[in-house]
Amino acid sequence: MKLLINLFVLISVANIIGCSPNDLAEEPKAKDPDYSITYDLHVKGGTIVDGSGSAPFAGDILVSGDKIVYVGQVTSSKIKSRTTINATDKVISPGFIDAHSHGDPLQKDNDLLRNFLRQGITTVVLGQDGTNPGYFPSGGPARDDGTFASWIKQVNIQGTGPNIATLVGHGTIRRLSGGGEKDKVTPEEQARMEQLLIDGMKAGAYGLNTGLEYVPGRYADREEMVGLAKVVGSNDGLISSHIRNEDDDLVQESIAELLEQGKYARVNASHIKIVYGKTRKQGDEVLKQIRDARAAGIQVTADVYPYLASFGDMSYLYPEWAKRAPEFKEAAINRREEFEEFLRVKIIRRNGAGAILISSGEYSGMTLAEIVAVTGKRPEEQIIDFGHNGPATAHFIMTKETQDAFITAPDVSISTDGSPTMRHPRSFGSFPKVIEEYVVRDKVLSLELAINKMTGQTAKIFGLKSRGLLKQGLAADILVMDIKNIKANTTWTNIFATPSGFDYVIVNGHLTETAAKSSKPTFGRILLKHKGD
């Protein structure tokens, strides 16, 4: 039975990355390079892990312009190149693809998203949790006509560190349509949302993202989401969703809601987790739900980050009747005792006040328990007094036993759920952490599977046709790594540390400087679905 299960998972992974199980065992066959030309880049003599999940092999990479033109062994010294990298004793892989990222390269404090480059990420998927850059429905700075297409144009003019693929935010278009925080959108608002989604995908977006745990996404009903799913599916897109509830007793119900949308479009469960999870079995049960749905014909995937704390604000703790700003204000004044009692129980369930770390404002770096020791307030009282949503907050509400089921699963891709300014180590160390701990230290993932989960698998999920594999004709996004020295280095006391072991990061054929606030050029660009990127 175990053999049959493993074969089923292997076939599932092969389907995700677009090849058969037999293909996974084959080494690529390349024609001899052309010795009459001068290549722009020669990555010489390394161990190639090509992103497909197949076994590593010795070889070279030749690049002309922004494309890979040869993958294989170069045995002749006659090869000519403008730049040569000696990759002896190093691993050569595709640049990593982050399945769930936050940030905007047009914001000055985002440093052109170089935090992602430092951990080997050469492509990020922005537009997450119901929002996306490029639209400004809440009074933010207007750029030209304020459209998504305008944002794409301006990013390409200014530049970006990694390449960017993006999704259209459900919460964003709900607000722009006039639906806002209503319990139910009107047919006219639904139609406007669907048209905004079509416009975004015509501009180059890869699909829709939802944040159904947040305002306003939490007010979307089945009819609203199915209508949008049909639009996504008819445009060959993906719905990537922060599902409605990640708690242990509701996570499978929430995934079932996503699977309903999966009848009409490809779907992905973002940063999959089980809040309050305690056992490996809980993770395995969710994986079985996803795999059973896939076997029944639903195109469903998931991604995960390798940390045990989520990140957001205090609204995770609020009751349903205090989520929206007016409701919060009314509850704080007229239902204070009831509000505090709800929070008191919630804090205990979420591992206590010591498991809530404040990451912005006056008390940044302190836990809620440490703050109330200073202010003299009760934890629940302090939360209300912070005001609606409160400061940025990390919540330590997961366990390694449960999350490892997802991190080691062959059919779950890797993400950061981070940003250039987020005070969470996942923003700066997620990808090297997987290699450092799960591949090198614990040996529970093979290197080729880990890299597949970071590259080829993710590209297939999102429909990134030009990335994810070291293959002739694809984009030259390449890493040269010293695997034994790959370290995240980031901790809760040293969040912004620089990972080690990434000797070279190559974006679109160019060696790229990854240091913070570097004055050297960047080489990323916006990837556009309608152009086949």
Contact 63, 509 (CB under 8 A): yes
400: closest CA among 496, 485, 309, 516? 309
What mean pLDDT value characterizes the chain? Answer: 92
Q: Which residue has the higher pLDDT, 64 or 144?
A: 64
The residues near 249 (Cβ < 8 Å, ≥ 6 apart) are none
pLDDT of 265 > 80? The answer is yes
pLDDT tens readout for residues 311-338: 999 999 999 999 999 999 999 999 999 9
Stretch 352-378: mean pLDDT: 94
Tell me how far apart the alpha carbons of residues 75 and 32 are, in angstroms, rounded to a whole number: 10
DSSP 516: T
**The tokens of 493 are what?**
């006391």
- Give the ranges where 69-183 is alpha helix by DSSP (H): 114-117, 148-158, 170-176
352-355: long-range contacts, CB 8 A cutoff, minimum separation 24: 353/379, 355/395, 355/396, 355/397
pLDDT of 25 > 70? The answer is no
Residue 12 — very low, low, confident or very high, per pLDDT cuts 50/70/90?
very low
9-18, 180-189, 446-455: the lowest-pLDDT one: 9-18
Stretch 341-364: mean pLDDT: 93
Tell me how far apart the alpha carbons of residues 307 and 309 are, in angstroms, rounded to a whole number: 6
Strand partners, 28: none
User: Which SS3 state, helix, strand or coil, does residue 392 take?
Assistant: coil
Contact 418, 424 (CB under 8 A): yes
Global confidence as pTM:
0.92
pLDDT of 434 > 60? The answer is yes
Residue 29 — very low, low, confident or very high, per pLDDT cuts 50/70/90?
low
Domains of the chain by start residue, with CATH: 96-306+398-405+442-470 (3.20.20.140), 311-396 (no CATH)
Residue 34 — very low, low, confident or very high, per pLDDT cuts 50/70/90?
confident
pLDDT of 514 > 60? The answer is yes
CA 84-517-98 angle, 5° bins? 70
310: closest CA among 395, 425, 400, 246? 395
Stretch 120-142: mean pLDDT: 78
Residue 136 — very low, low, confident or very high, per pLDDT cuts 50/70/90?
low
Q: Which residue has the higher pLDDT, 360 or 264?
A: 264
Tell me how far apart the alpha carbons of residues 59 and 225 are, in angstroms, rounded to a whole number: 47
Q: What pLDDT is attached to residue 147? A: 78
pLDDT tens readout for residues 178-207: 999 999 999 999 999 999 999 999 999 999
What amino acid occupies position 300? Answer: V
Stretch 445-461: mean pLDDT: 98
Q: What pLDDT is attached to residue 28? A: 47
User: Which SS3 state, helix, strand or coil, does residue 159 take?
Assistant: coil
pLDDT of 126 > 90? The answer is yes
Stretch 234-254: mean pLDDT: 97
Stretch 3-17: mean pLDDT: 46
Stretch 348-376: mean pLDDT: 94
Q: What pLDDT is attached to residue 32? A: 78
